[in-house]
Amino acid sequence: MVWLAQDSQFDPDSVCQPVFGIAARDLSHHDSGLHAHRVAQLLFARRGCMTITLEAKLCLLPPTRAVWIPAGLVHRAQMRTAVDYRSVYFRPPFAQDMPSQIEVFEVSDVLQATLERIAVAPLDVDWTMGAARNLLAVCMDEIRRAPRVPTLLPLPSDPRLARLDTASLPPSLGQLASDVGAGEKTIGRIFRRETGMSYQEWRQQWRLLKAYELLSAGTSISCVSQELGFAGDSAFISFFKHAAGVTPKRYVRSLNPGANAAATQETGAF
């Protein structure tokens, strides 16, 4: 296996093994740049949050989730805060019945344990024999069975929306229409056609993904609420619970049971 440091350069296509892994601890302010490789990649965020940019989608990888990136898919991985991750690569013979597009999914305890062992194994392990073969089979089966998570945000390709900034809170529909010089109905039709969502649905999905990122970085609920343009903490808590199925406080606790309660104060929400 390979441990990556902040300034490490690693080319997975240079490794001849059919299955191999790498690991990184406390890697931050990292930008891979747009790239692709001939091997499929399974990227697991043990701690911290990553943003993966594709040609027509924005993908958020929160902690305890994994993303499957098919071979040949052009992508860019960015880590703004400290990230502890494991990455396992699969050459085509081992990935032929795996997803053909990028997917984010929940990581079970079993899958996490198998990923850890594969990621830190020596590069010369033969994954076609003995215990190694059995371990890999369990890992692949867990990937196929894992519940998928909606943390992908489709991006419109219409030239009129080329200046839409996905790094900060998208404007209201009225403001966006004014900025691009098109009617609100026109903007709505573009988003429905190119993303499958109304602009309001798309904007709410952006807020949810950004909330995951900010909460994972330890940002307080009040600050998240303000940054995402909610009228108050209660409005944000209600939105997050409806969309994520848990309150922000419970989500943060699931990432780090020992999290500082003061950093995630949430009055009256359990």
Domains in the chain with CATH codes: 2-145 (2.60.120.280), 156-264 (1.10.10.60)
pLDDT one digit per residue (tens) for the chain, 270 residues: 566 655 667 788 998 889 999 888 776 677 888 889 999 999 988 887 888 888 788 888 888 789 999 999 999 888 877 678 889 999 988 887 888 888 888 889 999 999 999 998 998 899 989 999 999 999 999 998 899 887 789 999 899 887 788 888 999 999 999 999 999 999 999 999 999 999 999 999 999 999 988 888 889 999 999 999 999 999 999 999 999 889 999 988 877 644 444 333 443 433
DSSP assignment of 38-81: SSEEEEEEEES-EEEE-SSEEEEE-TTEEEEE-TT--BEEEESS
Q: Model-level pTM?
A: 0.76
**In degrees to the nearest 10, what's the CA dihedral of 259, 261, 264, 266?**
140
